[in-house]
Amino acid sequence: MAERGLSRIGLAGLAVMGQNLALNIAEKGFPISVYNRSNNKVDETIERAKAEGSLPLKGYYDPREFVESIAKPRAIIILVKAGAPVDQTIATLSEFLEPGDCIIDGGNEWYENTERRAELVKAKGLHYLGMGVSGGEEGARRGPSMMPGGTLEAYKYIEDIVTKVAAQVDDGPCVTYIGPGGAGNFVKMVHNGIEYGDMQLISEAYDVLKSVGGLSNRELHETFTEWNRGELESFLIEITADIFGVQDEQGEGELVDKILDKTGMKGTGKWTVQQAAELSIAVPTIAASLDSRFLSGLKEERVAAASAFKQYGVGDILAQKDIDKKQLIDDVRKALYASKICSYAQGMNLIRAKGMEKSWNLNLGEISRIWKGGCIIRAKFLDRIKAAYDRDSNIASLLLDPDFAKEMVERQGAWRRVVTLAIGVGISTPGMSASLAYFDSYRRQRLPANLLQAQRDYFGAHTYERIDKDGAFHTEWYKISQKNKQVSNL
């Protein structure tokens, strides 16, 4: 219970995410102090608090006054741009903090930075949490999914607040203590990587339906609206349906057609792929989504290439057969669902691998549960993912869960038809293709990696293992091949 006149918690950093989270906290009945280096942001937040119901929020322009307005032991959430601004904010606030106080970084931060900062402030007797917050501006205001990591003691400082502020689903609030160190930031990073994959797969479904099936934006709106009533029900499918229905206020037609096909990013997808490479975890769907964003950035080159290849008779879309629109829509739905399962499986495998490396003792089922509401990748089938981990917390891959395995097999025919069709007409579906290749590689007892290993041993004496004997072996491939050539020339 906060001392009379003092706030229960503080928040520094009042861009839209910070403002919305502060208002959410205040609306849930927790008096909050807010601070920002720019005074106008403080004023703006105070005005919003008054307008949205005279919420218990106080604004401060001086860091010392801000810190001293919070009841001890103090808990302060920082929501500023990742990197140097976080370090600067910590330096500013920690000058006035006392042993036992707690700093919570709510941004998209690299997990090792969180661990470094935790050690830094520990020397001053302070606690530190890295807490991923997902859900965008609306989620921050109405209820996000939150992924706090650090010491359990530090989490207890804010548990009563975050369990009320988070999105609420049928089996509890969308927040849980993730684990020690940078576990919270790492899980949020992979969440964003899965988000990259999800968005790419949806964009590919759109491309096939529009470019091959000839669906109008109205038909796409109706199709995605219908999909959102079934197995694909999710936030991203819902907002995609909405997008197709928005008219251009500055011209004719729908706005989506006027948007430049060039995608931005903030780095978490790249971090996810880099970490996967470090841990030797295959995440081809997420990697394909990252490559697709890189390629989208080459707009001028792509325009020039389209013109150059058109001279050789290769247009945007190659010759195609008549399309059964109804069948195509059903096939794309199934292909999208199967591809999504692969993408989520890759992300969960990466989280598990990092958890094992760092001894974080992560609960994959509980992580799936807190993604059911508030966050960008919230989806109906996260219930199914949680159930899969509840049945077997040590399952090697979601693809091995009996329910998911059965669904993959039932949808593979449609999945293959969509990818084959796309290849045939010259449309790239890197996410769906990568997911299908992942599925096909994972389910095969024997891959052509035996040849790769033979090549490595040939040029680099890297040795190889045999299927019939234990141990490492090396063959003098060059000498043997030269002898064989001499014999064949006799």
Does the annotation list 484 as a binding residue? no
Check whether 313 is labelled as a binding-site residue: no
The annotation status of 121 as a binding-site residue, yes or no, is no
Task: Determine if residue 192 is labeled as part of a ligand binding site.
Answer: yes
- Strands, sheet with 75-78, edge to edge from the N-terminal-most edge strand: 57-60, 32-35, 9-12, 75-78, 102-105, 127-134, 145-150
The β-bridge relationship of strands 9-12 and 102-105 is unpaired
**Which residues does 480 contact at the CB level (< 8 Å), separation at least 6?**
none
188 is a catalytic site residue: yes
Name the active-site residue from 115, 195, 204, 407: 195
Answer yes or no: is 41 a known binding residue: no
Q: Known binder of ligand: residue 16? A: yes
Give dist(CA 56, CA 337) in Å, integer: 44
Query: Which three-class secondary structure state does DSSP give residue 143?
Result: coil
Known binder of ligand: residue 48? Answer: no
For residues 134 and 374, the answer to whether their CB atoms sit within 8 Å is yes
> Which residues does 456 contact at the CB level (< 8 Å), separation at least 6?
462, 464
Q: Which residues are CB-neighbours of 79 under 8 A, at least 6 positions away? A: 11, 12, 13, 14, 15, 17, 18, 21, 106, 107, 133
DSSP secondary structure string for all residues of 52-75: TT--SEEEESSHHHHHHTBPSSPE
Tell me if 361 is assigned to a ligand binding site: no
Is 80 annotated for ligand binding?
Answer: yes
Is 17 annotated to bind a ligand? Reply is: yes
Report the C-alpha gap between 38 and 44 in whole angstroms.
10
Q: 113: annotated binding-site residue? A: no
| Active-site annotation holder among 188, 210, 334, 340 | 188
- Confirm whether residue 117 is marked as ligand binding: no
277 is in an annotated binding site: no
Tokens (6 digits) for 46: 């105070």
Looking up tokens 């780095």 gives: 267
**Cα 323 to Cα 333: distance, rounded to the nearest angstrom:** 16
Any known ligand binding at 147? no
CA neighbor of 193 nearest in space, from 333, 80, 350: 350
Q: Establish whether the linkage from the previous residue to 448 is cis, with ω within 30° of 0.
A: no
**Is 37 labelled as part of a ligand binding site?**
yes
**5 labeled part of a ligand binding site:** no
Query: Is position 382 annotated in a ligand binding site?
Result: no
Binding-site entries: 13-18, 36-38, 80-82, 108, 134-136, 191-192, 196, 266, 293, 456, 462
Binding-site entries for substrate: 108, 134-136, 191-192, 196, 266, 293, 456, 462
Q: Which residues are catalytic?
A: 188, 195
Binding-site entries for NADP(+): 13-18, 36-38, 80-82, 108
